[in-house]
Amino acid sequence: MIKITLKDGSNMEVEQGTTILEVAKKISEGLARMATCGKVNGEVQDLRYKLEKDCELTIETFESSLEGKKAYWHTSSHILAQAVKRLFPNTKFAIGPAIDEGFYYDFDVEKPFSEEDKTKIEEEMKKIIKENIEIEKFVLPKEEAIKLMEGQIYKQELIRELPENEEISFYKQGDFTDLCAGPHLENTGKIKTIKILSSSGAYWRGSEKNKMLQRIYAISFPKASQLEEYLAKLEDAKNRDHRKIGKELELFMTHELVGSGLPMYLPNGATVRRLLERYIQDKEIALGYKHVYTPSMANVQLYKTSGHWDHYKEDMFPVMKMENEEIVLRPMNCPHHMLIYKNKMHSYRDLPIRIGELAHDFRYEASGSVCGLERVREMCQNDAHLFVRPDQIKEEFRKVVNLILSVYKDFGFKDYTFRLSLRDKENKEKYFDNDEMWEKAESQLREILKELNLNFYEAEGEAAFYGPKLDVQIKTAIGHDITISTCQLDFLLPERFELEYIGEDGKPHRPVVIHRAILGTLDRFISFLIEETKGAFPLWLSPIQVRILPIADKFVDYAKTVVEKLESKGIRVELDDRNEKIGYKIREAQLQKIPYMLIVGEKEQETNSVSVRSREQGDIGAVEVEKFIQEIEEKLNNK
* Whole-Å CA distances, 354 to 233, 305, 341, 351: 43, 22, 10, 8
Kindly write down the DSSP assignment for every residue of 430-445, as one continuous string: GS-S-HHHHHHHHHHH
Least confident of 64-73, 467-476, 581-590: 467-476
The answer as to whether 584 is a domain residue is yes
**Angstrom distance (rounded) from CA 217 to CA 199:** 6
Residue 500: give the domain boundaries: 264-533
Tell me the C-alpha distance between 599 and 585, whole Å: 10
Radius of gyration of the chain (CA): 30
CA neighbor of 240 nearest in space, from 451, 533, 436: 533
Q: Do the strands 92-93 and 43-45 form a parallel or antiparallel pair, or are they unpaired?
A: unpaired
Report yes or no on 243 lying in a domain. no
SS3 call for 51 = strand
Whole-number pLDDT of residue 452: 81
Extended beta strands in 176-324, E state: 176-179, 193-203, 212-221, 252-253, 264-265, 290-291, 297-299, 320-322
The bridge status of strand 55-61 relative to strand 35-40 is antiparallel
Residues 433 and 351 in one domain: yes
Residue 464, pLDDT above cutoff 80: no
Pair 415, 499 in one domain? yes
State the average pLDDT over residues 87-109. Answer: 94
| CA separation, residue 114 to residues 63, 108, 215 (Å) | 33, 14, 12
Does 310 lie in the same domain as 425?
A: yes
Q: Is-contact 373 395, C-beta < 8 A?
A: no
pLDDT digits (tens, 9 = 90+) for 295-316: 999 999 999 999 888 878 888 8
Catalytic residue IDs? 334, 363, 381, 383, 385, 469, 515
What values do phi and psi take at 284, rounded to 5? -70, -40
- What are the residues whose beta carbons fall under 8 Å from the beta carbon of 85, sequence distance 6 or more? 91, 93, 175, 176
Examine residue 442 and state whether it is found in any structural domain, yes or no. yes
Helix (H, G, I), strand (E, B) or coil at 150: coil
Mean pLDDT along residues 427-450: 74
Q: Report whether pLDDT(105) > 90.
A: yes
pLDDT tens profile 24-33: 999 999 999 9
CA 80 – CA 416 distance, rounded (Å): 36
The per-residue pLDDT for range 131-171, each reduced to its tens digit, is 999 999 999 999 999 999 999 999 999 999 998 888 899 99
Do 49 and 108 belong together in one domain? no
Count up the domains in the chain and report the number.
Answer: 4
Dihedral angle at the C-alpha atoms of 346, 349, 351, 356, nearest 10 degrees?
Answer: -80
User: 101: helix, coil or strand?
Assistant: coil
Q: What CATH number corresponds to the domain at position 371? A: 3.30.930.10
The pairing of strands 2-6 and 55-61 is parallel
Give yes or no for residue 429 having a pLDDT over 70: no
In a domain, 486, yes or no: yes
* Percent of the chain residues topping a pLDDT of 90: 72
Find out whether 232 and 241 touch, Cβ atoms under 8 Å: no
509: confidence class by pLDDT, cuts 50, 70, 90:
very high
pLDDT attached to residue 427: 67
209 and 311 housed in the same domain: no
What is the average pLDDT value for the chain, to the nearest integer?
Answer: 91
Q: Does residue 248 lie within any of the structural domains? A: no
AA letter at 47:
L
- Answer yes or no: do 486 and 560 share one domain: no
pLDDT grade, residue 433 (50/70/90)?
Answer: low
| Per-residue H/E/C for 333-363 | CHHHHHHHHHCCCCECCCCCEEEEEEEEEEC
- 447-476 mean pLDDT: 81
Q: Establish if 509 belongs to a structural domain.
A: yes
Is there a contact between 468 and 422 (Cβ–Cβ < 8 Å)? yes
Inside any domain, residue 258: no
Helices 522-533 and 267-286, packing angle to 10 deg: 110
Tell whether 28 and 135 lie within a shared domain.
no
- 228 lies in the same domain as 287: no
Sequence-distant (6+) residues with CB within 8 A of 171 are: 78, 135, 136, 137, 177, 178, 180, 182, 184
Q: How many CB atoms lie within 10 A of CB 121?
A: 21
Query: Which of 210, 232, 254 marks a domain boundary?
Result: 232
Residues 74 and 193 in one domain: yes
CATH assignment at residue 151: 3.30.980.10
Are residues 464 and 522 located together in one domain of the fold? Answer: yes
How high is the pLDDT of residue 156?
A: 93
Counted residue by residue, the chain has a size of: 639
Residue 441 has pLDDT above 80, yes or no: no
Q: How many angstroms separate the first and last alpha carbons of the chain?
A: 68
CATH number of the domain enclosing 42: 3.10.20.30
Give the per-residue pLDDT at 563: 95
Q: Is residue 242 part of a domain?
A: no
How far apart are alpha carbons 52 and 537 in whole angstroms? 60
pLDDT (0 to 100) of residue 237 = 86
Specify the range with the lowest mean pLDDT, choosing from 365-369, 494-498, 526-530.
365-369
Which of 61, 84, 105 is the C-terminal boundary of a domain? 61
- 216 DSSP 8-state letter: E
| Together in a domain, 363 and 471 | yes
Examine the domain organization and report whether 525 and 545 are in the same domain: no
E runs forming strands in 204-324: 212-221, 252-253, 264-265, 290-291, 297-299, 320-322
pLDDT band at 426 (very low <50, low <70, confident <90, very high): low
Identify the CA nearest to 275 among candidates 545, 29, 486, 87: 545
| pLDDT tens digits along 57-96 | 999 999 999 999 999 999 999 999 999 999 999 999 999 9
Q: Residues 334, 493: contact at Cβ < 8 Å?
A: yes
Mean pLDDT of 338-363: 96
Rounded distance between C-alpha atoms, residue 44 and residue 41, angstroms: 9
Q: Which DSSP symbol is given to 595?
A: S
- Phi and psi at residue 36, to the nearest 5°: -120, -25
Q: Which helix (H) or strand (E) element contains residue 226?
A: helix 224-240
Q: Point out which residues pair with 565 in neighbouring strands.
A: none
Strands 596-600 and 546-550: parallel
Q: Look up the CATH number of the domain holding residue 573.
A: 3.40.50.800
